[in-house]
Amino acid sequence: MCAEEARLMQVFDQTLAWSRARDYREHTKHDALNSPLVWAVAGHHRWTRILATQGVMRFPVNIRSLLGVPQVHNPKGLALFVMALLDRYQSTQQDHYLEEARRLLELLRTLRSEGDWGGDCWGYQYPWQDLGFFAPRATPNAVVTAFVCEALLAAYRVTGDESYRHSVESAAGFFLGRLPRLLDEADRLCLGYMPMDMSMRVMDVSILVGAVLAQLAALSGDVELKHQALRLTRYVISCQTAEGAWFYTDPPEHSPVKIDNYHTGFILDALERVMDRLRYEEWRENHRRGLEFYARHLFNADGSPRWMSHQDFPHDIHGAAQGILSFSSPAGRSVAPDLADRIMAWTLATLYDPAGRFYYQQGRHYRKKFTFMRWCNGWMCRAMARYMAEAKVERT
């Protein structure tokens, strides 16, 4: 074992230990409205909720504890840890990784959104005001549910436990039965973020759901699920720019976020899962062009992640982790052979604290040296585990 690999294994285990010691509970970016004080002052109007959420999120230090924001479990973060643990189990055959993954999967069962949503589903444990919607605490959403489903599918592939697969099959009812259909054509389908009236087409939503349905279709041979997965993916493909990029929303002017880092990676990785599971080769060129744009416009030469294609700072830990994931794969390495290595080296040198945690962001003039469990440690555990797993495959 080389020194670099040994160090990465140590960093992974330190990060996991730091996170487990805190029971994986967290503050996170958009949770300001979980503060009783903030809610009392700003919780009763859309724009005051937006200002409060954005103000706390953008503050240079983490003031959530002062505001009484509780630390809670984040289902999406737990799913990231599960996928990381399963990768480490498969790479090492060390049972403690699998045991911890199973424990977190059981915890995820208890965090399902209550109510009749058409199937199993998950949301964030805080009220969330965005430009296009307001979601009360624990309202299920497509993205969180898709990530939990990815963890469940990974667990099913590793263990053969049918209960994990059944939960994903249940979630398909939520995806196709309760999410609004913002575009519904014969060959294209766009789903809304949440089961409520909304018009904002968030680009990664449809393809993340499509990737889950594609995997279910591959397991079951269900022709209808395959059809819906391809419709969802075809919609996203139709929105790719001539340069190979995707805006965050369709149309772009519906959000101040334009072509950003980690959502680009979400789309590319989900597209690859659809193609691989359904053995559908038509979009390989779209995938390659997307990876080329991602490498060229959303990372700097030193491996630091750009915030958006037109904006360098802040260098965000989530962007770094997503870049490691996308460019560790064989397709990613074929486009940018050493980019994952450069991103990993930059991240460990710039945003890692040897106590076992990753910092949130590197700004132009200062770092935000606080840690969000899902945004920082969850994503980096996922990225490190996949990076090591791909390196092992490459060596063999």
What is the tens place of the pLDDT at every residue in 2-46?
A: 778 899 999 999 999 999 999 999 999 999 999 999 999 999 899
Q: Is pTM, for the whole model, over 0.85?
A: yes
What is each CA distance from 340 to 158, 219, 334, in whole angstroms?
A: 26, 31, 11
Mean pLDDT score, 82-86: 98
Residues of the chain within CATH 1.50.10.10 domain(s) are 3-28+72-395
Mean pLDDT of 297-321: 98
Q: Quick one: what percent of the chain has pLDDT higher than 70? A: 99
Q: With 90 as the cut, is the pLDDT of residue 352 above it?
A: yes
Angle of CA points 141, 146, 148, to nearest 5°: 100
- Tell me: domain 3-28+72-395, CATH 1.50.10.10, correct? yes
Q: Read off the pLDDT of residues 209-240 as tens digits, 9 standing for 90 and up.
A: 999 999 999 999 999 999 999 999 999 999 99
> Binning pLDDT at 50, 70 and 90, where does residue 130 land?
confident
SS3 per-residue string spanning 156-204: HHHHCCHHHHHHHHHHHHHHHHHCCEEEECCCCEEECCCCCCCCCEEHH
